[in-house]
Amino acid sequence: MTTMTDASVREFKMPDVGEGLTEAEILKWYVQVGDTVTDGQVVCEVETAKAAVELPIPYDGVVRDLRFPEGTTVDVGTSIIAIDVSGKAPAEAPAEAPEAPAAAATAADTAPEKKPEGRQPVLVGYGVAASSTKRRPRKGPEVPVQQASVSIQTELNGHGPAPADPAPTAPAVLAAAAGQSRPLAKPPVRKLAKDLGVDLTTVIPSGPDGIITREDVHAAVTATETPVPAPVVPQAQAQAPVTVPAAPAASYDAARETRIPVKGVRKATAQAMVGSAFTAPHVTEFVTVDVTRTLKLVEDLKQDKDFTGLRVNPLLLIAKALLVAIKRNPDINASWDETNQEIVLKHYVNLGIAAATPRGLIVPNVKDAHAKTLPQLAQELGELVTTAKEGRTSPTAMQGGTVTITNVGVFGVDTGTPILPPGESAILAVGAIKLQPWVHKGKVKPRQVTTLALSFDHRLIDGELGSKALADVAAILEQPKKLITWA
């Protein structure tokens, strides 16, 4: 353990990198124990339920400790890294007994944090390390791996992986737990254990500094249901690392099945969709429309100098058609306030665009889309889609949406019955545009045809209102000149 006074240590806590977020997963550490860091240097990348974010450190100093390993989900407000601001590299000292997390946090709570003015976490894409901050090379001698506290050594900046801490023996873990008057666990974990009837003093901790995790509690339950005898360890090997196998949560053939943890964007999407589907009574209406003239207008706009360098496609005119339909039927742009039992009419449109990303579905939105000119709308839609595909969408860009478009047609699908994003009143699904036989001016001709589907919250939108809005969108796409007469 390092020998330095606690007064020189600053604890950097997991910030709320998005409005209302409660936790984030540490994806990657960019520093190691012993590295020198400067104010504003990115030290790690974390993933929230909405985006991947790079966190800059607000101190100058030397990394004393990394509190959690990569892959750990940490609650907002929990210390994740300790920085010695005295400027001295940590010195080697004999190993000491580990401190409890509460005691380690005491010095951090009494020492004021230095917060840079106007500095915000740097938003990056999922799995994309794109930081303008240079990462300093590791200086000085290697710091020995500590058994008492969690000091994570990762393979960064050309350094090989440091030797891992030896796993504690099962008897040693149980003995340590027995000697504590109160097992180390966070409040949510204690509640989980209480709900499941698990005695925390019997649980083998796997977290840093002997902290019991949610997985430990579930493993204890599973072990109780399906007992797995601990291996017999000879006396001569009592101090050797022993791994006690935990019973599998479920029996399955690894060659025939793959199990993927539900977390991050996928977890947030699942929770939001379940909440929306079982809260708002959904109604979906459909209309099939001839969009031949709309496609011709798209080709004309591509030649217009006002759209030079901009992405012009059918989605642009569909978005504009929806905005005009909302202007003609403003009550469709609303939300339901359950707490106050009120319908909230929105006098602005934050137009969401559902985007599929490698980590799941996200719905960023164009702020105040109703006030944009067509070239401005084209520019913002292009930036929104590009940013989403690169995984660089910020949490702010996904907040405050009022109405959404989902373009399932890009996958060759005719249409669908979309689920409302939470808090929104309507979502328009656009199907594939296909050449089909169509009656045009009394004759059957090949025309470009698509099917639209509008889902809306029937608590605040009646069938008449929803039908009128959908009919207006269809009328504009069939006769784009209505953009002039109705706008």
Catalytic annotation, residues: 458
The partner residues of 444 in beta bridges, in order of sequence, read: 439
Mapping DSSP to helix (H, G, I), strand (E, B) and coil, where does residue 61 land? Answer: strand
CA distance 27 to 365: 26
Do the Cβ atoms of 398 and 422 come closer than 8 Å?
Answer: no
Burial class of 123 by CB neighbour count within 10 A (0 to 12, 13 to 18, 19+): buried
CA distance 285 to 308: 36
**CB hemisphere CA count around 326 (13 angstroms):** 30
CA distance 415 to 58: 49
The partner residues of 404 in beta bridges, in order of sequence, read: 352, 427
Do the Cβ atoms of 328 and 418 come closer than 8 Å?
Answer: no
Do the Cβ atoms of 302 and 282 come closer than 8 Å?
Answer: no
Do the Cβ atoms of 55 and 109 come closer than 8 Å?
Answer: no
Amino acid symbol at 169: T
The partner residues of 55 in beta bridges, in order of sequence, read: 44
The region that residue 292 occupies, defined by phi over 0 for left and psi between -120 and 50 for alpha, beta otherwise, is: alpha
Joined together, the tokens standing for residue 175 give 């003995």
Amino acid symbol at 367: K
Rg of the chain over all Cα atoms, to the nearest angstrom: 28
Residue 460 CB partners (closer than 8 Å, separation 6+) = 331, 334, 335, 336, 343, 425
DSSP codes, 193-247: HHHHT--GGGPPP-SGGGPBPHHHHHHHHHHHHS--PPPP--GGGTTS----PPP
DSSP codes, 426-458: EEEEE---EEEEEEETTEEEEEEEEEEEEEEET
Do the Cβ atoms of 402 and 369 come closer than 8 Å?
Answer: no
CA distance 102 to 79: 11
